[in-house]
A and B are shown apart, each in its own frame.
Chain A
């Protein structure tokens, strides 16, 4: 009897020991050469390499050893306990390699819709295209989007717009950086050079060509620019790079990052400087210092917390020759900072919930008009993405936004607004070849307007490679604070800008049919569409007093804003991509645009209405009828990459500018030599970029007579980067 009990104790002790060993106490590798034990390592990883289990033969205890005493069992148990305390892991039997549970990573919200199933036409600009283009500013990249206009008021004030209705405060697109909306009050415009973001930190840019309020939020009247930056965990190591070239181009940037087990980060520091157009007519030099940090904490499979911080501060030259009173040569200072945090939680079902909050602060100080302007934005948003069966993916959510601006020379007193919104969007795979996207956004814009922006799109796959799309959507643009509340009393009496208020939001009804084709054997893809957009209630300048004498729009009249015009935009856009080797590609974009406007409102000074008709008539010429681009990338030898970008835009004249912009035929060339095995230490690149090689010096956007003859001339710079 005693004997039996003893055996049981032994058996239990042995098995307890087995369990502890197989429980990852020590990772061992059995070697034929070494008959004993070989401790491979005690990994810091919660999972262990377990090639083998420690055998009792190598321990003082063996079930078959009859001379075993209880004391030796307890001694062994103690040793095992100590060893197990040293160990990390929970029980990881070898079969757990296969049987382990993985968290859902590519959750419903992380999976991007393929372009062939998206409800809008979309252009994606990826890192390869960014590199090939040779552009050193973000705004220039939009030259690669069919139908998009990229202009410059001066060397540091780019203008980006889509399908006309353009001016220096282009404000009819939603612009997002990682879900953070960066068009700011009081003008609802984007200061492209201010965003604390380096071009090299961009993973890709999705440009939604058409209104997309249901999926991208407010202000997406004509489209959405959705900039997605590189993940916190995308960079391991450090790199520095620099540009140096004509017209004072001097940029330096440093990147460092690490992808850890639960914490990833990347940090960018940059200095960017140039002399602008280098003309004696304009003071447009600029210097910007920038810092951007992105960290991601993912303590487990289900949760991910993304934190981003950014700062940019700069000195900008402003002033136009011959305007000493209104626009003297001077330096202005800008600060732009943001904090953004997003918590994403993946549910067991693979659905996910995310909560995001961000804050943007922008401050620009100028001794001359428009003077000091402060803008601040807080926004919080909740989003829930659900996969419902195999056929439906539903996204719904809502948020609130608080905007504040203090710009005394423009709007006299500080203004703030609360905007709230709610959105729902469903992607329904109705049949194997049909995808129906339906959604809407409801917003209360903080000015008393309640807007509902629906969108409906049907994508029909003729074959998996060929898709037809028909879509229709409605979107609104709420008046900018400046449009609703302009009051420049500080600059003189009566104020030159004085809004009577009561504006209605601008509205667009957009309809399109599109085709997407993949010609797999030829490595060719085609994206084409015909569109018709009706914009109504366009907010335009309204002369409200002729105390200072007409004619309209000369200085010292008094102006406000009113809903005055409708516009009809029609056109055709296409992108053709051809790829004939891993790094060799050709991308062609073409856009044919037609625009017409009609006067629908009444000027405060009714007798001036015929003059408004003249303005409406001139809108036909305010879009380039033909525009396009060609981007060619060709690998030469092993280490050389040649690329050429050609950009064409027919003559056009934005309403109210002083002169037409001449036809643009611009050729940019880039030749790069790579060395080492990127991104490994010691690798890098040296590149030579020439912009406007053919010296077809086209004129730029000009709002005053003094700048009508400024041209974009040939310029060159050298780029170098090193990873370490």
Chain B
């Protein structure tokens, strides 16, 4: 009923403000993709940078990135959909005593750990010994520890600390692991450390499962990740739902994802891994 009225162009459009943490980059990519999924809907989208005032008062704010999400959730009372931030960050924002947003939801940037385990099973079915390096125990790590047996995996973890620096922790992990699963952790995986990590793992002939297309290009064997466009499609369906009943879906992981493989690295390691399309359909089937 509401929908048909909107389509007729009689009703006021739904005002959606997209707040970007930064101009350009993936934030902009998201903002550019969002309207494409909402063309036939009576939605007016305005794009502002974090810190700019809203005009007119939006019905729904989409905060893109942590900076925008933090700014919006602590200053604005309108419903907020946050995107391009991790589950961990979102949950911390939710617990923030300064939170003002009445209703908030999220589409997470990170991948559910089950999906990453499916990826390993699909791409490297013989790998059982999984190496993990971390500087802090993330929820994903705790899940993995708790469910390792259920997943049929043996976890070999090393915490990177002052007394167990990255090179040592890495060497220890490489001794026992058949694959390293990289969980996002800036202290372990960043532009300065990635060189030695990838080279050492390659020397030990241990593949690394990364978490982004860029990581795969750098030398990881494969990764599962969600593109800003895929997040925008999912955000658009949340917007549609909001237009219908003024409620946001529960915070959720990205439904759509891509699988990227580095065929050159796989070949060089003598591993025959399925194509990214095959892996993707297996991972999807596992869901």
Q: Is the CB of B194 within 8 A of A49?
A: no
In this assembly, does A53 line the interface, its C-beta being within 8 Å of a C-beta of chain B? yes
A95 and B66 form a contact (CB under 8 A): yes
Q: Is the CB of B98 within 8 A of A55?
A: yes
Q: How far is the CA of A15 from the CA of B97 in the complex (A)?
A: 18
Smallest Cβ-Cβ distance to A261: which chain B residue: B192
Bound CA–CA A14/B268 (angstroms): 52
A111 touching B264, Cβ below 8 Å: yes
Establish whether residues B184 and A97, one from each chain, have CB atoms under 8 Å apart when the complex forms: yes
Let me know if A18 and B203 touch, CB within 8 A: no
Minimal beta-carbon separation of A605 from chain B (angstroms): 56
Number of A-B contacts defined by CB within 8 Å? 175
Among listed B1-9, B31-39, B82-90, B142-150, interface-contacting one? B82-90
Query: Is B167 in contact with A92, judged by CB distance below 8 angstroms?
Result: no
Query: Residues 265-278 of chain B: 1 if any A CB is under 8 Å from the residue's CB, otherwise 0?
Result: 10111101000000
Q: Report the bound CA distance from A261 to B194 in whole Å.
A: 10
Residues of chain A within 8 A of B21, CB atoms compared: 93
A101 within 8 A of B: yes
With a cutoff of 8 Å between Cβ atoms, the chain A residues found around residue B84 in the complex are: 95, 99
Contact between B67 and A18, CB atoms less than 8 A apart = yes
Which positions 195-233 of chain B face chain A at CB distance < 8 Å? 195-196, 198-200, 202-203, 211-212, 214-215, 217-219, 225
B76-125 at interface with A (beta carbon < 8 Å): 84-86, 88-89, 92, 96-98, 109-110
Q: A105-B219, A114-B268, A301-B194 are in contact. Are A95 and B65 (CB under 8 A)?
A: yes
A112 CB within 8 Å of chain B: yes
Measured in the bound complex, the distance between the Cα atoms of B85 and A350 in whole Å is 28
* Minimal beta-carbon separation of B112 from chain A (angstroms): 13
Q: Do B191 and A231 have beta carbons less than 8 Å apart?
A: no
B62: min CB distance to chain A, Å: 15
B215–A102 CB distance below 8 A? yes
Residues of A within 8 A of B192 (CB): 45-47, 261-262
Q: In the complex, how many residues of chain B place their beta carbon closer than 8 angstroms to a beta carbon of chain A?
A: 66
CA–CA, A97 and B111, complex, Å: 13
Task: Judge whether A48 and B186 touch: CB under 8 Å.
Answer: yes
Closest Cβ neighbor of A63 among chain B residues: B75
Q: Does B136 contact A (CB under 8 A)?
A: yes
Minimal Cβ-Cβ distance residue in B for A112: B268
Q: Which of A16, A95, A105 lies in contact with B51, CB distance below 8 A?
A: A16
Question: What chain B residues lie within 8 Å of A207 (beta carbons)?
Answer: none
Please provide the chain B residues from 21 to 73 with a CB less than 8 Å away from any CB of chain A in the complex.
21-22, 25-26, 50-51, 53, 65-67, 70-71
Collect the chain B residues with CB atoms within 8 Å of residue A231's CB. Answer: 199, 203
Instruction: Tell whether B171 is near chain A: CB-to-CB under 8 Å.
Output: yes
**Contact between A49 and B135 (Cβ–Cβ < 8 Å)?**
yes
Residue from B136, B190, B272 with most neighbouring chain A CB atoms (10 Å): B190
Known: A95-B109, A104-B219. A111 touches B65 (CB 8 A): no
Q: Is A12's beta carbon under 8 Å from chain B?
A: yes
Contact present for A102 and B67 (CB under 8 Å): no
Known: A45-B192, A52-B92, A94-B89. A236 touches B70 (CB 8 A): no
Distance, CA A264 to CA B88, complexed state (A): 35
* Chain A neighbourhood of B264, CB < 8 A: 106, 108, 111, 387, 393
List the B side residues contacting A114 at CB < 8 Å: 267-270
User: Are the C-beta atoms of B203 and A97 separated by less than 8 Å?
Assistant: no
Do the beta carbons of B218 and A95 come within 8 Å of each other?
A: no
A8 within 8 A of B: yes
CB distance from A661 to the nearest CB of B (A): 38
Most buried by B among A95, A203, A680: A95
| 0/1 string, A43-63, CB within 8 A of B gives 1 | 101111111110111000001
A259 touches B53 (CB 8 A): no
Instruction: Please state if B51 and A113 are interface contacts (CB–CB under 8 Å).
Output: no
Interface check A70, CB cutoff 8 A? no
Which residues of the other chain, A, contact B190 by a CB distance below 8 angstroms?
45-47, 100
Task: Confirm or deny: A472 has a beta carbon within 8 angstroms of a beta carbon on chain B.
Answer: no
Question: Could you say which of B50, B85, B268 contacts A111, with CB atoms under 8 Å apart?
Answer: B268
The answer to whether B187 has its CB under 8 Å from any CB of chain A is yes
A621 to B30, CA, bound (A): 75
Complex alpha-carbon distance, A117 and B202, angstroms: 18
Among candidates A92, A106, A390, residue contacting B202 with C-beta atoms closer than 8 Å: A106
Within 8 Å by CB of A350, from B25, B50, B109, B217, lies B217
- Tell me if A347 is interfacial: C-beta within 8 Å of chain B: no
Q: Hey, which chain B residues are within 8 Å of A300, CB to CB? A: 191
Q: Are A106 and B219 in contact (CB under 8 A)?
A: yes
Tell me, yes or no, whether B281 is within 8 Å of chain A by CB: no
Q: Are B186 and A92 in contact (CB under 8 A)?
A: yes
Query: In the complex, given contacts A11-B75, A46-B191, A93-B66, what are 7 additional A-B residue pairs having Cβ atoms less than 8 angstroms apart?
Result: A49-B136, A93-B67, A98-B212, A103-B194, A106-B262, A116-B270, A236-B165
B residues contacting A by CB (< 8 A) are: 21-22, 25-26, 50-51, 53, 65-67, 70-71, 74-75, 84-86, 88-89, 92, 96-98, 109-110, 135-136, 165, 167-168, 171-172, 184-187, 189-196, 198-200, 202-203, 211-212, 214-215, 217-219, 225, 262-265, 267-270, 272
Can you pick out 19 interface pairs between chain A and chain B where the beta carbons lie within 8 Å of each other?
Answer: A8-B53, A11-B51, A18-B70, A47-B187, A47-B191, A53-B66, A63-B75, A95-B109, A98-B212, A98-B225, A99-B26, A99-B84, A100-B191, A102-B194, A102-B214, A105-B194, A114-B267, A115-B270, A679-B171
